[in-house]
Amino acid sequence: MNRRTQRAKDLDTLRGTFGNEQVAENERRASVRALFDRIAPRYDLMNDLMSFGLHRLWKRAMVREAVARLARHEGPLIDLAGGTGDIALAIKAADSARRVIVIDASAGMLDVARRRGGERLDYQQAEAETLPLADNSAAGVTLAFGLRNMTDPAQALCEVARVLKPGSCLILLEFSKSAAWFAPFYGLHSRFIIPTIGALVARDRRAYNYLVESIRLFPAAGDIARALDKAGLTVTHSRAHMFGVAMLHVAEKND
């Protein structure tokens, strides 16, 4: 079996991977979906344990950016790859009149979101690469920790650009390449602690090995800015969290 372990330079490189394994695109889609269906009941607890709760702070900053930009546009907010719905619910709490739609490929993750969000949110099971939304219809899109899992991430960004209203924004939060001095510490955490917690708490070491491998492969911030630009989305603001472990990008759809 071929293995890929170096950080990719562009999103297209991810299409033939499942973590470090080289796989066909349909296998990538099926494996990612099955993985999130499997870990959905323990997903939120695992996020808290693995990040020591830090993901909540990063998401809070993301929600602030999204809400500030939403004020300029009418229409729904799409929480793409919205998973268990925490970001969608925080946006709804801050902007109660806004229709907020959680879109995700995994039925298991959406079940958890539905139990949590009830009638406050709308839910659609769909692939980001073929969004069931009209052109220029969304007031904003949030996408947290989802892009690196998509079957064809570059195509997903083109779909985001298609459905956003001109001048509205994608708020993207994703793991990135940390500062060189911090990399050894983060490396230890991701090599030993994350898979161990995955095995003990989620009882799924393979799933958490995949998450670590997919984080290591994901292109660095400059390459992501280029990919956004190629899709017609201009980065207007970026912020590094925890020495670059995660990056927040605000990218505006060109008029």
Residues 6+ apart with CB under 8 A from 22: 1, 2, 3, 4, 16
> CA–CA separation, 193 vs 211, rounded Å?
12
| 128 part of the interface to ligand SAM, by CB under 6 A | yes
User: How far apart are the C-alpha atoms of 30 and 41, rounded to whole Å?
Assistant: 19
Stretch in the footprint of ligand SAM (CB under 6 A) among 65-73, 121-129, 164-172, 232-240: 121-129
Of residues 52 and 181, the one with the C-beta less far from ligand SAM: 52
Instruction: Return the number of the residue (64 or 72) whose C-beta is nearest ligand SAM.
Output: 64
Residues 6 or more apart whose CB falls under 8 angstroms from that of 95 comprise 67, 70, 71, 77
Beta bridge partners of 164: 138
From residue 63 to residue 102, the character string flagging contacts with ligand SAM as x (rule: CB under 6 A) and all else as - is: ------------------xxx---x---------------
If the CB atoms of residues 144 and 254 are measured against ligand SAM, the closer one turns out to be 144
- Kind plus residue range of the DSSP H or E element containing 126: none
Least separation in angstroms between CB 147 and ligand SAM? 8
CA-nearest of 79, 44, 49 to 63 is 79
Question: How near is the Cβ of 103 to ligand SAM at its closest, in Å?
Answer: 6
- Does position 31 interact with ligand SAM (CB under 6 A)? The reply is no
Q: Applying CB under 6 A, does 144 fall inside the site for ligand SAM? A: yes
- Comparing CA positions, the residue from 80, 52, 54 lying closest to residue 66 is 80
Binding site for ligand SAM (CB under 6 A): 32, 36, 81-83, 87, 104-106, 109, 127-129, 144-146, 149-151
